[in-house]
Structures are given as structure tokens and as C-alpha cells.
Amino acid sequence: MTKTSKTPVTILGLGAMGRALASAFCTAGLPTTVWNRTPGTHADLIAAGATSAPSVEKAIRAGGPIITVLLDHASVQETLDPVADRMVGRQLINLTSTAPGEARELAAWAADHAIDYLDGGIMAVPSMIGTPGAAILYSGSRQVFDTHRAILELLAAAEYFGDDAGLASTYDFALLATMYAMFGGFLHGAALMRSVGVSATQFGERAAAWVTAMTQSLPHQGRVIDTADYTDPVQSIAFHKSAIDAIYRASRDAGVSSDFVAPLKNLLDRQVADGHGTLGFERTFEELS
């Protein structure tokens, strides 16, 4: 059964993201207990109604789900290990970014201590928390998700993927990998444009429109990859190799590093050399796994 807005929550970690989450809970009127390794950084939250705990042990006494928003896997383990025996029967929601294997490790650690574990990947920056467009992806304990869905929705749209605790972070990292490749391409393009005197600001406006239009093809590309039939391409690998080769030369001529373009060029070169030039660009996927 989904708990109501009177559920007490404990937040461990008051960096930029932890503060945003705690603030959203305070705004919604939830009894919110907060702890941070470095004390004294959250007067604003106290003013908003949060209770500050001087230690992790005291913070988790407040009852309700315990939410960790720490730097990384190691900091979660370091923070919770000393209080593990006082968390028996409790529900832990870890929103710290962890690799899938680390999330599974934490789930196993939690199971060993009879703690119900839900892992989450935050697809938002702190200023987006509590606004439309923010999403948090969850996997692990269905029971924890179902019980606390209403309060999790106060933070961001909440979606549950399954009981494998590593699933949410796999989605998280796959989406971030997509984002970083796009950001890298933008940096490369901005460097190229600077060589002809166009500012990165101007280029950013244009690139946003172009990338938005191009992303419409992603579901189609996904379907092609799933069929593994690359024989009827819109444009072939050989066509794309020719484009990337030209971008490579243009970049070299403009004195722009090939750091972002070279990996794709290598993948395309290899496929053409191996006789796959007539197949579709999506066949590149087969080189990756």
C-alpha cells in the first residue's frame, strides 16, 4: 500500500542533490530528518522544517525509509556499515550513482542484514527535482517502491524496472553514455565553429535544433538493431565512413583535436575493411558487444 505524505523520511547526504531532495520533502510537509558528514551546511533546510541529526545512528532512528544520496558506492558502504545492525527490518533507498555491479553488491549487503533495498538512478540535476521533466529510475525491492511511490513521486517521475538492483543504474548509465557522446560531439563542433569565428553560444542554439531533429530516428535505429538485419540501409557504413573521413580532415585542417571523432572513425574503418561497407550504420552496434 502506498504511504501518504505523513511518512517520515531520513536523508543521508546533503550535497547539491541531497539538499534538493530534502527540500522537496520539506516543501511537501514530510517529517524530514537529515544528516551530512560535514555538519552545518544546511541551515536553509532546518529553516524549512527539517530535523538535523548529529550522527547517522540518530538520523536513522527517525523511522521511515532511509535515503542515501552520497558521492559514490564506497561512501554509502562507509556510512552504513557501522549502523547495519540497527537497520534490520528497515527500508533503504539508495539514490547515489553506483555502477550496476555495485548496486547488486549493496543489495546483497542489505539482504545479509535483513534490510529491504531499492536502488535509484536520478535522471535530473538538482534544480529539476520536484519539477516536470525530472525522472528517477528504480529497481530492486518492489515492496519498497510500491510502499513509497507517492513520496518518491514528490521528487520526480518514478519508474520501476524490476527486482534486479542493477537494472536502474544500467538504464541510468546507458542514458548518460548517450548524453556524453552527444555533449562530446557538441564540443567538437563548437571547436570547429570557433575556427571560423562563430561563438559556441551561437552554435549551441543551432546544434540543439539539429540534435532534437536527429534523435527522432533513435527508436527506428533500435528496431533495426533488434532485428540484426542491416541489409536495407537508409545510408550505408561506406557512406558514413566517407562523411566521418571528411569531418576528420576538416578538423585536422582547422587544428581541432580528433579525440571525439577518432573512435567512430576507427569503428567505421574497421567495418569497411572487414567487408561490411554496404550494410547500414546500425551494424556498428555489432562491433561493441
Residue in 97, 139, 147, 251 binding ligand NDP, rule: CB under 6 A: 97
Residue in 8, 126, 185, 233 binding ligand NDP, rule: CB under 6 A: 126
The phi-psi region of residue 29 (left if phi > 0; otherwise alpha if psi is between -120 and 50; otherwise beta) is: left
Contact range with ligand NDP by CB under 6 A, out of 12-20, 23-31, 207-215, 270-278:
12-20
Q: Which is nearer to ligand NDP, 70 or 244 (CB)?
A: 70
Regarding 96 and contact with ligand NDP (CB under 6 A), the answer is yes
Name the residue type at position 233.
Answer: P
Minimum CB separation of residue 11 from ligand NDP in Å reads 10
Residue in 9, 11, 14, 106 binding ligand NDP, rule: CB under 6 A: 14
Name the residue type at position 108.
Answer: A
- C-alpha distances in Å from residue 218, one per residue of 72, 100, 170, 279: 31, 24, 18, 18
Q: Which is nearer to ligand NDP, 144 or 156 (CB)?
A: 156
Minimum CB separation of residue 142 from ligand NDP in Å reads 23
Regarding 141 and contact with ligand NDP (CB under 6 A), the answer is no
Regarding 184 and contact with ligand NDP (CB under 6 A), the answer is no
Residue that is written with C-alpha cell 560535514 in the block = 38
| Cβ partners under 8 Å of residue 155, min gap 6 | 21, 24, 25, 129, 130, 134, 136
Residues 65 and 72: their CA atoms lie apart, in Å, by 19
Instruction: Report whether 107 contacts 140 (CB < 8 A).
Output: yes
Instruction: Report whether 66 contacts 117 (CB < 8 A).
Output: no
- Give the sheet arrangement for strand 91-94, strand by strand: 51-52, 32-35, 9-12, 66-68, 91-94, 116-123, 135-140, 157-160
Residue in 15, 184, 233, 277 binding ligand NDP, rule: CB under 6 A: 15
Minimum CB separation of residue 41 from ligand NDP in Å reads 6
Instruction: Report whether 148 contacts 65 (CB < 8 A).
Output: yes
Minimum CB separation of residue 173 from ligand NDP in Å reads 11
Residues 125 and 16: their CA atoms lie apart, in Å, by 9
Regarding 192 and contact with ligand NDP (CB under 6 A), the answer is no
Residues 84 and 90: their CA atoms lie apart, in Å, by 10
Sketch the per residue contact string, 42 through 81, with ligand NDP: x for CB under 6 A, - otherwise: ---------------------------xxxx--x--xx--
Contact range with ligand NDP by CB under 6 A, out of 13-21, 110-118, 154-162, 280-288:
13-21
Minimum CB separation of residue 186 from ligand NDP in Å reads 18
List contacts with ligand NDP (CB under 6 A).
13-18, 36-38, 41, 69-72, 75, 78-79, 96-97, 122, 125-126
